[in-house]
Structure 1
Amino acid sequence: MRATVALLVAALVLAGCSGQDGDGDRDGDRGGPDAGSDWSPAPVDRGGLTVLAESDGDGFRLHTSSGTKTFLPGVNLGSTTPLHQPGEVGTIEAETYRRWLEGMAETGIRAVRVYTLHPPAFYTELERWNEEHPQAPIYLVQGAYLPDESYVEAGRTLYDPAVDEAFSAELADLSDAVHGDLSRPERPGRAGGDYDADVSQWVAAWILGVEWEPPAVLRTDRAEADAPYEPGEFFAATDDATATERWIATHLDELAAYEADRGTSAPVALANWPTADPLDHPTEPSPYEDLVGVDAMHVLPTDAWPGGTFASFHAYPYYPDFQRDEPGLDETTWQGEPDRYAGYLASLQEHFAGTMPLLVTEFGVPASLGSAHLAPAGRDQGDHTEQEAMAMNADMLRMMADLGVGGGFVFEWTDEWFKRTWNTVQHQVGERRQLWHDPLTNEQYFGIVATDPEPVADAATEISPEGGPIEYALVWADASWVHLEVTFRDGVPQTLDIGADVLPGPQREDYRVRIDAAAGTARAEVRRALDPIRLDTLTRPYHPEAGEDWHLFRLLTNRSTTGPQGERPAEYLDVGDLVEGTWDPEDPDYDSLATWQVLEDDDRVEVRVPWSMLGFADPSSRTALGEGDPAELVTVDGIDFEVAADGVGEAIDFTWPEWNFTGYVERRKAGADVLAEAFRDLAP
């Protein structure tokens, strides 16, 4: 698979270098924020309302001084930084927003989508940037999240007063905020302060709601089927709308009314994802993934709302499983080959054709060591180098433009440490997940910008044996990796074995890495009783080799399924087959998946092992996974390493202080230039 993906990336890099800007000149300054055509807003008047963008059966149209733009490429921006949970939204400083906006402009990004209200500094810095760069502004797609998501709880619905009223209040605040007319107190989990920056002239669209939870939607549709409903002045549900769709229509109308009172109109859409799309997926093995539909065709603007609406979808190439074998999806081609992801997007377009365009408002693949799902065309949910991930994102963005999609928003601007993934979440201490950066948790590695941890303070141990093959060894750690650097007296040995005793007890090794330098191979293994896959599936045995004393470290990427297409066995990523190479981002041979390397000239071997592959549920509190299911959580003093060169070993006792803070640095990922090229080509 790595060889196939590498060939794909090489082809995409070459393809990405052949584009031209609007003037047919790629030899000039491409990196400056004011490069390209004039993107300053040029709104039109529609029935007395100022309309910057409009969206209808003819497509999405953003009005600028250099003409109408029909494809809007952008990026999603989260509300957190490393070491923080998303509810700590007020911790992002103005300087950080300023740096992010500058980086977006340098990457050729024309629009940023936020999911909820950010602190005042975001809007102040956006206004500052756009006023200083009037011909190259960054447009805003403002999201509205549900402040109260208790509709997912048993017995509750979207119509519950706490849910309904909180969302209504949030929409009023959001409209006031983008117009620079809001003051609200800061509360846990919500941004607050004085909003006096008016960014409304750059609001290209609104997206309201969340990735709707199917059981809660079904419960709402049944319990509130007869709830009274009155069509709004600006948005109205159709006669065949469900209770959920009528509730959404009511709130889209509320937001539109607030904006109309201020004399503006822009496209307003409801958020959605494939799990709640309006299509039937007969090959989907999981009933959850095709349980209900939420259909934007049932929530339509009236003639009083010239901004219109669009179908907003978070659509990824690896999920749900129906993309792998649904008949007809491979009839759509991209770059001369059948492409199931393109086929799914085309099927969504066909559903909405003639009424509204499709905008893919979240998509991407992560540059992570771990993966959580396999996908057609190699676009898996992880196990990609940074170069591979950026090239795939660029390719999908170009695909969307080629299909006639109205816009594509890459997920996301920066890596976020707090994120969780289904096949590692049971291995972690959830309330402290944001304090470290797990290479096996793919959701933490979607960013265009990496957030690389710096070394943990006072977390280093060294030895200098007086004799034997090992001359010097150093162990140190950051918030992602434990690093071992071993220098030898008489050249690099043929084999290097690293045993890690993490848990108290009679076993001398709980985890181990076995390097065969002569063969160029390395394996990370885990003692049977500690294999974390036992926590991710009820199937026993969970792997053909489950009875062996030692297991190659694997991640479960798909549980076994039985569906209309028959049985599909469980699938795994052999993440314990370690990749040789350099992980120095400054090196032209940089490989973000590399975990070991031999430096012959220095008689040294360097290894980095994720904390999670040493069994840590939270290294910041020195908490390790014990045995059992569920796993016991064990606080340990450190790790006792045994490092053996050709069978001759040395002990290294490694410990580190607990931490609630550690440093990190931001870095644009390798290969991001290919993605930037796509942004510039598609929005010159």
Structure 2
Amino acid sequence: MKRFMLINTVIFFLILGVKSGLIRKISNYDTIEYFTKVEGKEILINKNNKWNEIKITGINMNPGKPGAFPGDSFISNEEYLRWFSYIKDMNVNCIRIQNIMPEEFYEALEQFNNEKEEPLYILQGIYFNEVYLKDGYNPQTKDMKKKFKDYIEAVVNIVHGESYNRVNLNLFESYKTNVSKYVIGYTVGIEWQAHDLIYSEIMNDKSPYEGEYFYTSENASSFESFLAEAGDYVAQYEAKNYGEQRLITFVGSSSLHIKKSTSLSNGSTIILEQDEKDNIKSFIDVENIKTTEELKTGIFVSYNIYPSVSTLLMYEGDSGLFFSDINNYHTIPVVISEYGIPSSRLATDFISDTSKGYINETEQAQALVDTYNAIKKSGCAGSIIAEWGDSWFRSAWNTKDRIILDKSAYWSDTQTYSQSFGLMAFEPGNEESVSYPDNSNNEWKEEDILSSKPEVSLSMKSDEKYLYFMVNMKDGFNPLSEDIYIDLDVTPNSGATKSTQYDLQFDGQADFIIHVSDVESSKVLVHEYYNTHNFLEQEKQLQIRPDIINHTSDMDEFSEIMIYTRPKTYVEALGGFVEKQSTETGRLIHGNGNPTISEFNSISDFYIGEDYVEVRIPWALLNFMDPSTKQIHDDYYDTFDITPISIKGIYAGVTVKENNDTINRIDSKLYKWNQWTKPTYHERLKKSYYLLKEELSKASN
């Protein structure tokens, strides 16, 4: 009896496990189904039992939004459906996702595609956890391979609507929606960094791989064999468990194609040469990964290429030549899986004119269209824009040490270029921003006045992106003869009580001066003691020799605000280093910042009206690490680092000068704002969305 009860209990839990997805029934299939395949340099798709070429026209999407990091899963079904509609209207046919998305994404995709003759397809990423690489793990060890294969199983199960998933981090997601009919392929792995590849090559022996679906050439590196083995496991697992195959792609290294060239001005082409004498390869060459006849679908190579100045240096800025050379090198289809241009106040290496510094939304739009056409002309099998929405959570190499990374999703940092690659902007405010520098100051109310005199007043506001100022002058403002100086006391650790340079006297300590004169030469200046850039320039030296510090907390000196725009970079084509570059990021841009106006300039900092001046200053420009919790940079020369300190608010005063003589002064007064844990935001489609929509419509006709 006991034995009978035990057997029945085991059977019960086995059935429960299968139904709940904790245990999978393993099946074998006599025939393998597939609806995409590679033929030569083309990708084909089967519709109504006919194979036709498909040019992948895609966009990258992640599950992050204001107030949420990608792993937070806060995006609703309604939001996904709205975004899918916008994307489909652009004539985009594919969404690329780099990792497992929240369950709501797959549910919304099925709901959106239901009964559509031309659905939105997805290119599903199988992510390799970069934390392991940062922690120094060798990805080719038995344990790391097992973790990666477990993740492969999870991804394949999820797209087939199976909840069996022992490695997925979203433990409370059920993943019951089968979207496999929309999955055209899998991206296996990530874009691998050169230093990780070198480390892996050193730690592992070079050995060709031979599997059921994949093998490698004799020239393959150990890491290319590792990728072939991973791709082989994807094909094996899906065929065995679901009787299906899909396209598989790996992300190649664009550095493979940046080789020594002769002068381009005489019409010569780039020489794509591979140094096989070098056994320590720092790049991935997907040409070394081959497939057997058992893989009916085939493979293509993906490239993430952002046409920055450094990337295109040896091509004299000709991205078309770069894309053509990449495509001509390969015997398999090439898809540019990421390309993007930021619409950013600080565009760093994406602009050659460092004195200009920015790329506005109009310029972003035209650059994206030009890049799309260059890829199309090159003969590549497709291109995928990066990305759908601006990503507040992102950091960048030149700003990540200046902010609190764990708080980055709660405010929009216009100084971080990587946050603004999207075609859709997330702007502060539930329906519109609290203020725009434009030809109207109607949004400013009496309660916004911080301090005033009969002749002049200072009003202030703030939101998740900017600190706003409005100086109203009873008799009007003449930028040809008058100057406005707004002095700000941000940190209690330092500040000047005067500026001999600008002949200014302050009633408190000033850390920043916003100088508005005319449309060309207005700028923000920083007290030299609180100058982040100059501190970073000498940080290491001062840590060793603190006795040579010549800064004092009350020194009478204000400086231009500079920031690095390009690190010191080794350029293989030139056989040497390109020196690091900086730009004056404190220079203010005049223009109309209202997106409803035809003259809209997305990176506008200030606007001069008839009797007022509106200014908006990015929080990070004033050394804020996180405005949502009122944390700023602490004393550099005390900590010898960039660390946070909390403040209660900002003191602001105004001086108005005419022909260098002071005619009005408003003493400093404290401006305070409420901290926030949930940012407000609204969506706004950028000009790049509409221009690309127009261009993609031409291509589809």
The answer, yes or no, to whether TM exceeds 0.5 is yes
Alignment correspondent of 1:85: 69
Residue correspondence of structure 1 range 53-72 to structure 2 within 5 A:
53-64=36-47, 68-72=52-56
The one-letter code of the counterpart of 1:298 is N
- Deviation for aligned residue 1:682: 2.6
Alignment correspondent of 1:445: 420
Counterpart check, 1:670 vs 2:687:
yes
Residue correspondence of structure 1 range 287-302 to structure 2 within 5 A:
292-302=282-292
Distance 1:581 1:562 in 2: 37
Distance 1:453 1:480 in 2: 7
Alignment correspondent of 1:31: none
The one-letter code of the counterpart of 1:447 is G
SS in 2 for 1:350: helix
In 2 relative to 1, CA 219–671 (structure 1 residues): closer, same or farther, beyond 3 Å?
Answer: closer
Residue correspondence of structure 1 range 545-564 to structure 2 within 5 A:
549-560=557-568, 564=574
- Deviation for aligned residue 1:269: 0.7
Instruction: Note if contact 2:569-2:578 (Cα within 8 Å) is conserved in structure 1.
Output: yes
In 2 relative to 1, CA 247–181 (structure 1 residues): closer, same or farther, beyond 3 Å?
Answer: same
The one-letter code of the counterpart of 2:319 is Y
Q: Deviations over 1:43-84 (max 9, x none)?
A: xxxx95333222243322234469723421110001211112
In 2 relative to 1, CA 630–584 (structure 1 residues): closer, same or farther, beyond 3 Å?
Answer: same
Which of the residues 492, 505, 513 maps onto 2:477?
492
- Percentage of pairs with the same residue: 21
Alignment correspondent of 1:605: 613
Counterpart check, 1:197 vs 2:177:
yes
- Deviation for aligned residue 1:534: 3.6
Instruction: Note if contact 2:355-2:584 (Cα within 8 Å) is conserved in structure 1.
Output: no
Instruction: Note if contact 2:185-2:248 (Cα within 8 Å) is conserved in structure 1.
Output: yes
Distance 1:569 1:123 in 2: 46
The one-letter code of the counterpart of 2:642 is A
Distance 1:381 1:137 in 2: 42
Alignment correspondent of 1:260: 239
Residue correspondence of structure 1 range 191-270 to structure 2 within 5 A:
193-225=173-205, 231-261=210-240, 262-270=242-250
Counterpart check, 1:138 vs 2:138:
no
- Deviation for aligned residue 1:343: 2.1
Counterpart check, 1:619 vs 2:627:
yes
Distance 2:538 2:324 in 1: 37
Instruction: Note if contact 2:42-2:53 (Cα within 8 Å) is conserved in structure 1.
Output: no
Instruction: Note if contact 1:148-1:163 (Cα within 8 Å) is conserved in structure 2.
Output: no
Distance 1:274 1:230 in 2: 23
Q: Deviations over 1:340-380 (max 9, x none)?
A: 3222222222321xx2021100011000101221456x799
Instruction: Note if contact 1:73-1:111 (Cα within 8 Å) is conserved in structure 2.
Output: yes
Counterpart check, 1:679 vs 2:696:
yes
SS in 1 for 2:564: strand
The range that moved more, 561-570 or 197-206, is 561-570
Alignment correspondent of 1:387: 362
- Deviation for aligned residue 1:488: 1.8
Q: TM-score, length-normalised on structure 1?
A: 0.82
Distance 1:389 1:488 in 2: 36
Instruction: Note if contact 2:495-2:527 (Cα within 8 Å) is conserved in structure 1.
Output: no
5+ unaligned residues in a row in structure 2: which ranges? Answer: 1-29, 263-279, 435-443, 497-508, 543-550
Alignment correspondent of 2:513: 512
Distance 1:372 1:569 in 2: 14
Alignment correspondent of 1:20: none
- Deviation for aligned residue 1:621: 1.4
Which of the residues 430, 435, 456 maps onto 2:405?
430
Distance 1:160 1:175 in 2: 23
SS in 2 for 1:310: strand
Distance 2:162 2:103 in 1: 11
Instruction: Note if contact 1:123-1:199 (Cα within 8 Å) is conserved in structure 2.
Output: yes
SS in 2 for 1:79: coil
Q: Deviations over 1:391-448 (max 9, x none)?
A: 2112111111111011110000001111011111121112211111100100000100
The one-letter code of the counterpart of 2:421 is F
Instruction: Note if contact 1:278-1:293 (Cα within 8 Å) is conserved in structure 2.
Output: no
Q: Which has the larger radius of gyration?
A: 2
The one-letter code of the counterpart of 1:665 is H
In 2 relative to 1, CA 159–570 (structure 1 residues): closer, same or farther, beyond 3 Å?
Answer: closer
Q: TM-score, length-normalised on structure 2?
A: 0.80
The range that moved more, 210-219 or 474-483, is 210-219
Residue correspondence of structure 1 range 203-602 to structure 2 within 5 A:
203-225=183-205, 231-261=210-240, 262-275=242-255, 277=256, 280=259, 292-318=282-308, 321=310, 323-325=312-314, 329-330=315-316, 339-352=317-330, 355-375=331-351, 383-454=358-429, 462-463=448-449, 467-470=453-456, 472-493=457-478, 494-504=482-492, 505-507=494-496, 508-517=509-518, 521-534=521-534, 537=537, 549-560=557-568, 564=574, 568-600=578-610
- Deviation for aligned residue 1:238: 2.0
After TM superposition, where is structure 1 displaced by more than 6 Å over at least 4 residues in a row? Answer: 378-382, 539-542
SS in 2 for 1:195: coil
Alignment correspondent of 2:499: none
In 2 relative to 1, CA 113–560 (structure 1 residues): closer, same or farther, beyond 3 Å?
Answer: closer
- Deviation for aligned residue 1:622: 1.0
5+ unaligned residues in a row in structure 1: which ranges? Answer: 1-46, 284-289, 331-338
The one-letter code of the counterpart of 1:99 is R
Distance 1:192 1:61 in 2: 37
The range that moved more, 361-370 or 171-180, is 171-180
- Deviation for aligned residue 1:152: 3.8
- Deviation for aligned residue 1:178: 1.2
The one-letter code of the counterpart of 2:299 is T
SS in 1 for 2:522: strand
The one-letter code of the counterpart of 2:477 is V
Distance 1:506 1:119 in 2: 48
Counterpart check, 1:656 vs 2:677:
no
Q: Deviations over 1:69-118 (max 9, x none)?
A: 34211100012111122232x22221221121111112221110000111
